[in-house]
Amino acid sequence: MASQAASSAFNGNMKKALAGLKRINLDGLRWRVFDAKGQVLGRLASQISTVIQGKDKPTYAPYRDDGDMCIVLNAKDVHVTGKKMTDKFYRWHTGYIGHLKERSLKDQMAKDPTEVIRKAVLRMLPRNKLRDDRDLKLRIFPDSEHPFGDRPLEAYVMPPRRVREMQPRARRAMIRAQKKAEQQEQGGNDKRKGKKREVEAELT
């Protein structure tokens, strides 16, 4: 019941979600679910590409496509580090002279957040004849609803990640920003100036 309600909740994308399922040959394949919420974009895409190629199975063969079906949820909540949200550009050339178009990550997420993950994964796959078939196995949804509720799904546990310790300058900037935010709530101009003087004394 719930799955029926969920599946009819996005009727517009139903065709795209189920597109080409008939073309995928074997169903001895598992259905793996990735939750992209809070994951870093590239690291997630790297794991997805390993699973899609079938490289985590000992029966891997490079000439045939044996990867599992991958469903990615919460694509709009994927993180990027640094200033990539505004500074990472997707560029493409239309073929006409001078028409190099570009679009930033922020605009792409506003337009179609699934494309971000799809591009990242596709560019990590080997460029051979199996690439398009592997593309068919990847289904991405911007939020956590999907029409595959009746299949045997398996969650994928991401490997533990060693987050790099912040560089000292970035950490100081973060601490300063935090303290500024706290003091703005309290509301005091004099206190802010005093803080800057303290920080300068610390640096010199």
Partner 1 sequence: MNKKKIFKLAKGFRGRAKNCIRIARERVEKALQYSYRDRRNKKRDMRSLWIQRINAGTRQHGVNYGNFMHGLMKENIQLNRKVLSEISMHEPYSFKALVDISRDAFPGNKNVVHPPRKVDISALNV
CB of 79 to partner 1, least distance (A): 20
Q: How far is CA 11 from CA 88, 125, 147, 170, in A?
A: 32, 30, 10, 45
CB of 15 to partner 1, least distance (A): 20
57 or 111: CB nearest partner 1: 57
How many CA atoms lie less than 13 Å away from 144 in the CB half-sphere?
Answer: 7
26 or 157: CB nearest partner 1: 157
107 or 154: CB nearest partner 1: 154
CB of 19 to partner 1, least distance (A): 21
CB of 65 to partner 1, least distance (A): 15
11 or 186: CB nearest partner 1: 11
14 or 173: CB nearest partner 1: 14
Strands 69-73, 153-155: parallel, antiparallel or unpaired by DSSP?
unpaired
Dist CA 47 CA 180 (whole Å): 38
CB of 8 to partner 1, least distance (A): 11
CB of 159 to partner 1, least distance (A): 4
12 or 95: CB nearest partner 1: 12
**Interface contacts to partner 1, rule CB under 8 A:** 2-3, 5-6, 33, 35, 55-62, 73, 144-145, 149, 152-160
